[in-house]
Structure 1
Amino acid sequence: MIEAAQFVEAARERGFEWYAGVPCSYLTPFINYVLQDDTLHYVSAANEGDAVALVAGVALAGKRGIAMMQNSGLGNAVSPLTSLTWTFRLPQLLIVTWRGQPGVADEPQHALMGPVTPQMLDTMEIPWELFPTEADQIAPALERAVKHMDETGRPYALVMQKGSVASYELKGGGAMPAKHALPVAQSKFTGRGYDELPTRQQALERVIAATPAESTVVVASTGFCGRELYAIDDRSNQLYMVGSMGCVTSFALGLALARPDLNVVALDGDGAALMRMGAFATLGAYGPSNLTHVLLDNGAHDSTGGQATVSQQVSFANVAAACGYADAVEGDDLATLDAVLAAAQERATGPSGVAGTRFVGLKIKRGTPDGLPRPTITPPDVKTRLMRHIGAAAN
């Protein structure tokens, strides 16, 4: 058994200062330790996949991070682990607890996941080893992890058995984001007919015009959103997600937190936002003022044939406001989008005087221009180009 400080401090020496995850009793000592150290950063994610996406954003910023989860949460993390971190080569250290380990009595919900945990990691091509239980095992394990991460750009996992880490007391509840009065969502619908709604292309052109390359990063959700942004203007400050649907906001949050000098714009869609709505609460609690969440809502899964989503029943701005965003507005006019993007560049506080993430939801038409190309630049090259652009990778 080791002490939490022994591992965390050894990890800090190797550049690991960012943590995100969902608690497990095995992880409690680590979380308690990190929460009480002002020089370390812990984000409590809504689910394990969001934690992986957030730490991927930290990696995009050129920093090291750790995603922590119970092995039951590997199911929630499969999408970003297989189509974000693997695809873009964004490394992170995973600490996965081994509930239901064969031969160790546990609860019935772990009876299947316990035996298959090693196979799941192997299937996802994530090398792993058992979490160190002796002090002299810590440095070698971290060195192996860092070596793999640096050589491949992909995750490495430490699988934690029961009783690996001694308890560590949490005093005062830990450092959590300050609670503030919730803003009132603003509705700016003009009542225009469907044929008068703006197109995605018009909205993206406004985003490009309002996001200067030298100071802003634009991260576009998977599907036609990223493809159309690429087709309009392929800039070095843009990244086009090609999978991990619903993870764009958590990914952008990690980048924005790790790089407060940049303005970060997350381009989301209604289908993607509905998939991982827990991220709204995380952005409301932790989202900084250099992050803007833009949701283009056409009420459809446009890139898969136009099947309807349930967004007609949802006010995303009210969801954002209820979750604690600094400002939340929705409408059907490009001027609404322009105003939010302009305020974001100024990093002014919201109408309530609160500094934090802004949200703007824009109703748009369905449809995409004919002959829409796919990016010819590969995901790893998009990542490397962007990291060089923001000074997070060697030229």
Structure 2
Amino acid sequence: MIEAHEFIDRAQKFGYYSYAGVPCSFLTPFINHVIARDDINYISATNEGDAVAIASGAYLAGQPAVAMMQNSGLGNAINPLTSLNHTFCIPILLIVTLRGDPDLKDEPQHELMGRITGSLLESMKIPWEYFPQEIPQIQPTLERATYYIKEQRRPYALVVCKDSIAPYGASGGGIPHRILNKAAPINFPLAAPVHSRNEILSHLHTQMPKENSVVIATTGYTGRELFALEDRENQLYMVGSMGCASSLGLGISLTRPDLQVIVIDGDGAALMRMGNFATVGTYGQPNFTHILLDNEVHDSTGSQATISGNFSFANIASSCGYEIALSGNEVTLLDQLFAHKTTKGPKFAQIKIHSGTVDHLPRPKLSPEETTRRLMTYISKCK
């Protein structure tokens, strides 16, 4: 058994100052210690997949990062681990607890995952070893993990057995408090769309700063259309990891508050991980701008309807703590959004658009890995 700080202090020497996660009783002393420290950034994610994406954003911004979770949460994290981290070569350090350990009596819901945790990680091409339980094991464990992360650009996992970490008191930190937006409720249903996605993105390209900014485009037609309009080194076109655009952007924005981070989302993707609205509303800073293009369908898979016509994303963003939340159907809404200067939190706009895309829509010429390296090079030059 080791003290939490004995691992965390040594991990800092390898650059690990950013943590995101979802609690597990096996990790209670570790998470409480992380939360209590002023020299570590910890984001309490709503699910494990978002924790992975937040940590991945921190890495893209130049900060090695850790995602923590119970092994049952690997189910929530499989999508970003396989289609974001593996595809884009974004390495993070995973700390995963071993609930349902075959050698221990545990709750029945953990029994299967306890038996397959190691094989599940291996199936995702993620090497792993047990979390150190003695002080002399810590340094070589971190050396092996960090070497693999740097050389292979892939995640590495440490699996935590019960009682690996000594008890630690209650966390001394808290969740940032946000005063909710008190603006009058936005009327909906919103007016019918008047613009296509391409028209909105074309106008957006004229508004987005080319310097000291990062643009994350959600998976599907959005990233492809943005690429077709103009390929820029500060743009990342997501493939897979549906719903993770805002959490990835949040990780970048918190790590590099000097950059303007613009996330272009879709209704289907946002619906998939709506919990991150609350995370962005709580932790997001004025450098985070969230634009949601809402056509009420899953456009790139055959235009199957979403449920977004039955509620207002802008109302949800406002309730979750975004400082500004706008909605409409005109391209001028973007002008209003960028004209607003927030002081305490992120801003949001929901724009109703037509479904469909342009003819002969190309795919990005760079591979996802090349896009990652280009973006990281760009960010590193923004000082």
* TM-score normalised to structure 1 length: 0.94
Q: State whether structure 2 residue 312 is matched by structure 1 residue 323.
A: no
Could you tell me how far apart the structure 2 residues matched to 1:277 and 1:84 are?
A: 18
Residue 207 of structure 2, aligned match among 200, 206, 210: 210
Is the contact made by 1:183 and 1:324 (CA closer than 8 Å) also made in structure 2? no
Q: State whether structure 2 residue 350 is matched by structure 1 residue 357.
A: no
Within-5 A mapping of 1:87-98: 87-98=87-98
Q: Counterpart in 2 of 1:308?
A: 305
Give the count of matched residue pairs.
Answer: 382
Q: Counterpart in 1 of 2:380?
A: 391
Q: Counterpart in 2 of 1:276?
A: 273
Q: Counterpart in 1 of 2:51?
A: 51
Could you tell me how far apart the structure 1 residues matched to 2:253 and 2:179 are?
A: 20
Could you tell me how far apart the structure 1 residues matched to 2:192 and 2:162 are?
A: 60
The residue identity in structure 2 corresponding to 1:113 is M
Q: Counterpart in 2 of 1:3?
A: 3
1:187 Cα shift?
3.8
Is the contact made by 1:67 and 1:93 (CA closer than 8 Å) also made in structure 2? yes
Q: State whether structure 2 residue 114 is matched by structure 1 residue 114.
A: yes
1:189 Cα shift?
8.0
Could you tell me how far apart the structure 1 residues matched to 2:268 and 2:90 are?
A: 25
The residue identity in structure 1 corresponding to 2:312 is S
The secondary structure found in structure 1 opposite 2:31 is helix
Q: Counterpart in 2 of 1:254?
A: 251
Output the aligned Cα RMSD. 1.6
Judge which range, 332-341 or 66-75, deviates more.
Answer: 332-341
Is the contact made by 2:60 and 2:90 (CA closer than 8 Å) also made in structure 1? yes
Within-5 A mapping of 1:152-301: 152-172=152-172, 174-184=173-183, 187=186, 193-194=192-193, 197-301=194-298
Gaps of 5+ in 1: none
1:181 Cα shift?
3.5
The secondary structure found in structure 1 opposite 2:175 is coil
* TM-score normalised to structure 2 length: 0.97
Q: Counterpart in 2 of 1:142?
A: 142
Could you tell me how far apart the structure 2 residues matched to 1:183 and 1:76 are?
A: 33
Q: Counterpart in 2 of 1:366?
A: 355
Gaps of 5+ in 2: none
The alpha-carbon distance between structure 1 residues 85 and 100, as it changes in their structure 2 partners (threshold 3 A), is same
The residue identity in structure 2 corresponding to 1:249 is S
Is the contact made by 1:186 and 1:328 (CA closer than 8 Å) also made in structure 2? no
Would you identify which runs of 4 or more consecutive aligned residues in structure 1 move more than 6 Å?
188-191
The residue identity in structure 2 corresponding to 1:309 is T
Could you tell me how far apart the structure 1 residues matched to 2:177 and 2:190 are?
A: 37
The residue identity in structure 2 corresponding to 1:260 is P
Could you tell me how far apart the structure 1 residues matched to 2:267 and 2:191 are?
A: 20
The alpha-carbon distance between structure 1 residues 264 and 102, as it changes in their structure 2 partners (threshold 3 A), is same
Judge which range, 361-370 or 329-338, deviates more.
Answer: 329-338
1:202 Cα shift?
1.1
The alpha-carbon distance between structure 1 residues 364 and 185, as it changes in their structure 2 partners (threshold 3 A), is farther
Is the contact made by 1:59 and 1:65 (CA closer than 8 Å) also made in structure 2? yes
1:13 Cα shift?
0.9
Could you tell me how far apart the structure 2 residues matched to 1:82 and 1:24 are?
A: 23
Is the contact made by 1:185 and 1:318 (CA closer than 8 Å) also made in structure 2? no
The secondary structure found in structure 1 opposite 2:249 is helix
1:193 Cα shift?
4.6
The alpha-carbon distance between structure 1 residues 73 and 169, as it changes in their structure 2 partners (threshold 3 A), is same
The secondary structure found in structure 2 opposite 1:267 is strand
1:6 Cα shift?
0.1
1:29 Cα shift?
1.1
Within-5 A mapping of 1:62-141: 62-141=62-141
1:183 Cα shift?
3.6
Q: Report Cα offsets for 1:304-347 as digits up to 9, x if no partner.
A: 1111111101200011111111111111111112211233xxxx
Is the contact made by 1:48 and 1:73 (CA closer than 8 Å) also made in structure 2? yes
The residue identity in structure 2 corresponding to 1:124 is M
The alpha-carbon distance between structure 1 residues 171 and 129, as it changes in their structure 2 partners (threshold 3 A), is closer
The secondary structure found in structure 1 opposite 2:339 is helix
Could you tell me how far apart the structure 2 residues matched to 1:164 and 1:155 are?
A: 22
Is the contact made by 1:236 and 1:385 (CA closer than 8 Å) also made in structure 2? yes
The secondary structure found in structure 2 opposite 1:112 is helix
The residue identity in structure 1 corresponding to 2:149 is M
Could you tell me how far apart the structure 2 residues matched to 1:49 and 1:60 are?
A: 17
Could you tell me how far apart the structure 2 residues matched to 1:376 and 1:181 are?
A: 42
The residue identity in structure 2 corresponding to 1:39 is D
The secondary structure found in structure 2 opposite 1:294 is strand
Is the contact made by 1:291 and 1:358 (CA closer than 8 Å) also made in structure 2? yes
Q: Report Cα offsets for 1:156-183 as digits up to 9, x if no partner.
A: 00000000000111255x2321232434
Is the contact made by 2:189 and 2:310 (CA closer than 8 Å) also made in structure 1? no
Could you tell me how far apart the structure 2 residues matched to 1:188 and 1:204 are?
A: 25
1:37 Cα shift?
1.1
The secondary structure found in structure 1 opposite 2:17 is strand
